């Protein structure tokens, strides 16, 4: 049995443009979800860096060893962010661990991957990152120029492109 218009007065209280806006919002969210199914990556989708979301996701995969290294599994640090001394940060603390080169480093600790993503977006803002890059090599060159990684840029780019 279908409901008559008289039994649905709540629909009359909303203007037609509002109904279409809600439909558009739902379709947009579903579309974005199909592009990035990792809920913890959603802060990127609602930031000015939405255009480089695939690069940010690939970087998190590269820096976290496909989300399997100690920093990412134990401390939600999926971007291998060191504890900052100058810039603002969203971390919840720090931990002293060995680096890949054998040295000890103070790393940021996050309450969740989503917080790590928001902190990386803050890092991009702090470093005046452009909102788009024409290629992955341009993105990696930007990261290198800001001291994000110490590895040879060509090798890093090759590793990064394998995660895209």
Q: For residue range 99-117, what is the model confidence (pLDDT) as tens digits?
A: 766 778 999 999 999 999 9
Listed as own residue / partner, the contacts of 154-162 with beta carbons closer than 8 Å and 24 or more positions apart are: 159/62, 160/58, 160/59, 160/62, 160/136, 161/136
Residue 129 placed within a domain: yes
Q: Are 64 and 78 in contact (CB under 8 A)?
A: yes
Measured CA to CA, the distance from residue 161 to residue 140 in angstroms comes to 10
Contacts of 39 (CB under 8 A, 6+ apart): 114
Residue 136's domain spans which residues?
A: 39-161
In a domain, 2, yes or no: no
Rounded distance, CA 124 to CA 114, Å? Answer: 15
> What CA–CA distance (Å, rounded) separates 19 from 6?
18
Residue 68 has pLDDT above 70, yes or no: yes
Say what the pTM is. Answer: 0.78
Top-confidence residue, 6 or 75: 75
Q: Tell me the backbone φ, ψ of residue 66, rounded to 5 degrees.
A: 55, 40
State pLDDT tens for residues 74-101: 999 999 999 999 999 999 999 998 876 6
Handedness of CA 147, 152, 155, 157 (dihedral sign): positive
pLDDT tens figures, 112-132: 999 999 999 999 999 999 999
- Total structural domains within the chain: 1
In a domain, 70, yes or no: yes
**CATH number of the domain enclosing 122:** 1.10.530.10
């Amino acid at each position: 049995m279908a409901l008559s218009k008289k039994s649905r007065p709540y629909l009359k209280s909303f203007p037609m443009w509002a109904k279409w806006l809600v439909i558009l919002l739902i379709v947009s969210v579903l579309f974005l979800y199909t592009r990035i199914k990792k809920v913890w990556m959603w802060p990127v989708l609602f930031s000015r860096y939405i255009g480089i979301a695939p690069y940010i996701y690939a970087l998190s995969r590269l820096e976290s060893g496909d989300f399997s290294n100690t920093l990412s599994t134990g401390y939600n640090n999926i971007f291998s962010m060191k504890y900052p001394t100058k810039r603002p940060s969203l971390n919840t603390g720090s931990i002293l661990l060995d680096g890949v080169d054998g040295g000890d480093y103070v790393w940021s600790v996050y309450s969740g991957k989503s917080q790590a993503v928001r902190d990386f977006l803050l890092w991009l803002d702090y470093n005046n990152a452009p909102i788009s890059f024409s290629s992955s090599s341009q993105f990696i060159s930007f990261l290198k120029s800001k001291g994000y990684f110490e590895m040879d840029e060509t090798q890093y780019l090759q590793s990064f492109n394998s995660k895209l």
